[in-house]
Amino acid sequence: MIMSDKYSVSVCWNNEDRCFIATCSEFPLLSAHGDSREEAVSEFQIVLEMAIESFTEDNIELPKPKTTASHSGQFRIRVPKSLHKSLVQRAEEENISLNTYVISLLSGNHASREVYTDKIDMLKRIVDNLTTHFASHRDTLQVYTQKLNLLESQSLQKEPPESEWITRPTDKHSYRTYRA
């Protein structure tokens, strides 16, 4: 087995570059691209083997390959005595074990956090869309404002005809004068 085969490889599509990009979390500075997933992974294998060779030649310790973790489903946690007492009381009120009660609290909190994170992500997307939408309208408004300013400056530069009736507002009422 080649050493590079032990490292994880992730492949995702990149809209900007219009290709697949392969990366590795153990070597975060490395990447390779390809027109297909297979091509991106194949190119990445070459890059990764070159990096491993370079690390070895320079006596640099290689990162440890990720492995699948096995979890026993058990862990110990120390809590203040007052919290322990409160948890035991609530579990007894619910007529369930302390273990079951704590699992339900952790599960509920974890699920709430997931929902909260999803909603925050959704709100961020909405704000981004609104920002983009209003930015495009802002550009349109700027063009109209520039046109209005230009028309206003052109009309101010023109001299009124030699004689005309001009309406002049005062505080209480308007009156007309003849300008000759």
Work out the average pLDDT over 6-10: 90
Domain annotation covers residue 156: no
CA angle 40, 42, 44 (to 5 degrees): 65
Residues 93 and 128 in one domain: yes
Q: Give the range of the structural domain holding residue 9, as residue numbers without chain letter.
A: 3-57
Enter the pTM of the model. Answer: 0.41
Count the domains in the chain: 2
Domain annotation covers residue 13: yes
Domain annotation covers residue 12: yes
Work out the average pLDDT over 105-126: 81
Looking at residue 66, what is its pLDDT? 85
Domain annotation covers residue 63: no
Which of 43-47, 67-71, 99-103 is predicted with the least confidence, judged by mean pLDDT? 67-71
Domain annotation covers residue 167: no
Work out the average pLDDT over 156-169: 56
Helix, strand counts (H, E) of the chain: 3, 5
Work out the mean pLDDT of the chain and round it to a whole number.
81
Query: Which value, in Å, is the radius of gyration of the alpha carbons in the chain?
Result: 35
pLDDT at 92 over 60: yes
Residues 94 and 131 in one domain: yes
Looking at residue 163, what is its pLDDT? 52
Quick: pLDDT tens for 39-59.
999 999 999 999 999 999 999
Looking at residue 160, what is its pLDDT? 54
Residues 85 and 133 in one domain: yes
